[in-house]
Amino acid sequence: MPQIPYNARHLAGDTYVVPALTNAGFIEGLLIDTCEDEAPFAGVPIDLLAITHGHADHFSIGHVIREAGARVWVARDDASLVENPDINIRGMFSWAKPGDTLTTKLFQGVPCGVDEYIEDWDDPRALAVPLPGHTMGHYGFLTRDRVLFSGDAFYPMDLWERHPLPYAIDPGMVVSSLERIRATDCDWIVPAHARPIAREDAEEHIDFHISQIREIEELLLDRLRTEHTTEQAIAMVSAQRGLSENPPAYWLAVATVKGFLGELLSRRQIEFFVREHAGWWRTV
Ligand SMILES: [Zn+2]
């Protein structure tokens, strides 16, 4: 018997899911993301840790796994976020220095060294699948047992109640990545924060995710027929989506709503102007 994390659930072939707040994947010493608890990995030989993207909840104990001998792989665009999680926090605040109370837990973490870029990936245990949009350098991993670990690229329906406005820096890219997931030949899809989904059941979940993005776009196009400041647009979308009111949720919404505004602006469906030193948006 190969050594596997003690609470790992078998999915297919040699591929296991280590269930937690952030699910990890495991196949013969290759670990895909980490859980927040290091106990399941004690004594388990891990030679390679692949991190789907640079949010701290996906590499909570990455530094422990690396100290135990694993080489850490992250995409070029997200590597600096893993090596220095503070960069996410500064980026969220337009590179100025925010106070500690503002920041989401998801961005606070222990730095983890990065040894290789996923762009150079070549490992028989899994294929690296680029799935950008949640972050620039987000990757999924398709194991040779036809299990796709999709990180945060895909939110199945049950997650939307808790996350009515999933973090995305580029909703257009999120849609393209969802289509790439749909086109990936696999038997299972394992999102980082939800239960594994059999491929034959995934279609309606992918459709739902895309429909939610379209709904938010339509909402903005409709409401921006009356001009809104950036702040008003963020508040309007947050209220419509039923977000909870607290600083971390607000700052995550700032990034995501700006992602939508940028997308609609690049499609020339809305325009931006400055008046009385505030930034305003309106539907063209
Ligand atoms: Zn994330």
Determine whether domain 9-215 maps to CATH 3.60.15.10: yes
Cα–ligand 1 centroid distance for 79 (angstroms): 14
DSSP 40: G
DSSP 123: B
Any idea which architecture 216-283 has in CATH? Orthogonal Bundle (1.10)
**Strand intervals (E) in the chain:** 9-12, 15-18, 24-27, 30-32, 48-50, 71-74, 116-117, 126-130, 139-143, 147-151, 188-191, 197-198, 228-229, 270-275, 278-283
Q: Where are the domains of the chain?
A: 9-215, 216-283
What would the pLDDT profile of 110-142 be if each residue is shown by its tens digit? Answer: 999 999 999 999 999 999 999 999 999 999 999
What would the pLDDT profile of 201-227 be if each residue is shown by its tens digit? Answer: 999 999 999 999 999 999 999 999 999
Cα–ligand 1 centroid distance for 28 (angstroms): 25
Cα–ligand 1 centroid distance for 134 (angstroms): 7
Cα–ligand 1 centroid distance for 235 (angstroms): 22
Cα–ligand 1 centroid distance for 165 (angstroms): 13
What would the pLDDT profile of 264-284 be if each residue is shown by its tens digit? Answer: 999 999 999 999 999 999 999
pLDDT band at 258 (very low <50, low <70, confident <90, very high): very high
| pTM higher than the cut 0.75 | yes
